Structure 1
Amino acid sequence: MRFLPLALAAALSVPLLAPAVPVHAAAAPAIQITRIWYNSPGSPDFGANSSLNGEYVQIKNTTRKAVSLKGWTVRDKTRRDDHIYTFGAFTLSGGKTVTLRTGKGRNSATTRYWGRSGGTLAYIWNQSKDTAYLRDPSGTLIDSCSYNSAKVEYVDCA
């Protein structure tokens, strides 16, 4: 019986083992922003469709199951209402990536178009600093990606 208090005291003096994964680390989302190409080719002064489509966001489904993105939104940090893209009926297959281009074009299984046109105000992504936000239909933030450099043309987010 005299050994019980000593054993208990010894057990309490041993530090707890740290978890294998830091407490602040979160699992990557199943649907995630993987790249923002914000410094598109061409002159931003005119907002030509080819230049607008040169800026884009890529979103990847990291699971094996198809996910409906209907009602999901992508927006930048400006919080302007005209800087929100809402997916219509669209399903992103498992393991696939969709590219959301700023300008106009024909939507496909791999590319969607924001539909913006004309002038410098048509661009979404700032040339040196911005954040992309991906939200599900209920408005829950699923993923975000920020950049802060005018020295490169794109940022890999994942």
Structure 2
Amino acid sequence: MSASSAARRLTAIALAAGSLVAAAALPASADQDRDPDRQRVVISDVQYNAPGPDNRSNRSLNGEWVNITNRSRQSVDLRGWTLRNSEGDRYTFRHLRLNGRSTVTVHTGFGRDTRHDVYQDRREHVWDNRSDRATLTNRRGAVVDTESWGRGRGHDRDRGDNRDRGDNRGNDRGDNRGNDRDRGDRGDRQR
């Protein structure tokens, strides 16, 4: 066998081995590419019933908020991600890189955006006190996380990991966030 023939044979073997390794690795990387954000970024808390009267003051509007938490160590670029309610009202993140193990609070009213607080700049409440769903979607349009309250009680998740989020979620909260009967006109407000 000549040297060039041996070199061609070794090259062919190396290419075949590389193809096998690449094919074996494809399902794992494809799975990660499909939903890499699902386990990293979550809706960690929702204050849908702002304390005090719903008088549409900026203080009242900013009293309702949604926390978005990055549970991973790596930062996540949230540019182009959206947060929406069940009626389709949508907030789109502009230039925000959420550091690892960090939380950003999305307020309904007006304010100055920082790394830890962003504002939707709305003049009306977004989250329904009785029943609503917050949905976080990445820039590719994939649902990353949801949080629901009201009908059906508690929260339900589209992620399917059924992790326990503590006793302060949903309508059976012990604090005033989910307790409409102590609020007078609060229970009558739909939006």
TM-score (norm 1): 0.72
**Structure 1 residue 42, shift from structure 2 partner:** 2.6
Deviations 1:95-133 (A, max 9, x none): 00000000000101100000012xxxx110001111000
Alpha-carbon separation, structure 1, partners of 2:72 and 2:48 = 26
**Structure 1 residue 65, shift from structure 2 partner:** 0.4
| 1:74 partner SS | strand
RMSD, matched Cα: 1.8
| 2:60 partner SS | helix
Structure number having the greater helix percentage = 2
Task: Work out which of the residue numbers 108, 115, 126 in structure 2 matches 1:102.
Answer: 108
- Which amino acid in 1 is paired with 2:147? C
**Partner in structure 1 of residue 185 of structure 2:** none
How many pairs align? 120
- Which amino acid in 2 is paired with 1:138? R
| 2:149 partner SS | strand
Alpha-carbon separation, structure 1, partners of 2:130 and 2:68 = 21
Matches within 5 A, 1:74-153: 74-79=83-88, 83-117=89-123, 122-148=124-150, 149=171, 152-153=176-177
Q: Which runs of 5 or more residues in structure 2 are unaligned?
A: 1-37, 151-170, 179-191
Between the two structures, name the one with larger relative contact order (CA 8 Å, sep ≥ 6): 1
Task: Work out which of the residue numbers 60, 74, 94 in structure 2 matches 1:65.
Answer: 74
Structure number having the greater strand percentage = 1
* Larger Rg over CA atoms: 2
TM-score (norm 2): 0.60
Structure 1 contact 127–150 (Cα < 8 Å) conserved: no
| 1:50 partner SS | helix
Aligned residues with identical type, % of pairs: 35
Alpha-carbon separation, structure 2, partners of 1:126 and 1:138 = 27
Q: Which runs of 5 or more residues in structure 1 are unaligned?
A: 1-27
Runs of 4+ in 1 over 3 A off after TM superposition: 149-152
- Which amino acid in 1 is paired with 2:87? T
**Partner in structure 2 of residue 43 of structure 1:** 53
